[in-house]
Amino acid sequence: MGRLVSLGILSALFFSSTFVLNRAMSLAGGHWAWTASLRFGFMLIFLVLILLITQGKKSLADVKNIFIKHWFFWMLSGSIGFGIFYSLITFSSMYAEGWVVATTWQTTILATPIVLAFFGRKVPTRGLLFTAVIFAGIVLVNIEHASATNLRGLLFSALPVLIAAFAYPIGNQLVWEARHGESKHIPHIEHPILENGFARVLLLTVGSLPFWGLLLLFTSPPTPTSGQFLSTALVALLSGVVATTIFLYARHLAKQPYEIAAVDATQSMEVVFSLIGEIAFLNGALPGTLGLVGVALTMIGLVAYMVMQTRS
């Protein structure tokens, strides 16, 4: 168990790079549209290389064929699950510290039951009481943030993240529904390559490319700097490749439901690592009492929620 928790915490450390580096690029004047779109450009390169090295050329051919056959589905799910989700996360980084965004992002655990219900799936009720604790923590963090900004700043930092918290599970659930083939309105997509997590992420990444092209077209951002290129490449590598690999590996090692819950619960450490990273690298200030209490409540609620979901 100690090894699983350690691996989960390590993955959370790498995942937190997203919030810290996005905030750093924002403070340096990098446009949020480039911060978002460049990440998935680098992700495309990294994922192709990973599949080529681990699975061979056939895997890429399989991904290409599946995408061509169901191009509309992958564009829709990729645009929602990756495009809308990450563009709003990067947009919010212009108006709030990375740890504030990371804490507010935990709303996704509250959004997931609503998304499941929308798709006609059974909503897990075990542990839902702790979602109120999570929500209370998020509210406290944003109340403290509101005291340091105006109403416009609060709305532009919190509202995009709340929308992103729904977009991400919607995109993932669309893929789940397609693989299981139980929906009349979603195509049933069967292929062994879909068992590979990196292949699924690659399909969603390719599907999101038109979204990024349109985003850049409509926002017309200034040319990104070399620093922004480097930072987005680091986010893609550290969060998209390293963190994802470690997290999936830890989940694979877990044999019991409570072990899986423990690995999932470690992701609440993203909030702490984002806060530490902001203070260490961006001269961020330590939160006040409300902020610290909010972070603590969010983490406690997340851990308790994950544990309760797997208890019989």
The total number of structural domains that make up the chain: 1
Q: Which band of pLDDT confidence, cut at 50, 70 and 90, is reported for residue 30?
A: very high
Span 102-131, average pLDDT = 84
Give me the residue label for tokens 């169901």: 70
pLDDT band at 261 (very low <50, low <70, confident <90, very high): low
Tens digits of per-residue pLDDT, 113-124?
A: 889 889 988 876
Domain that holds residue 61: 2-309
Percent of the chain with pLDDT over 70: 97
Which pLDDT does position 215 carry in this prediction? 98
Rounded to the nearest integer, the mean pLDDT of the chain is: 91
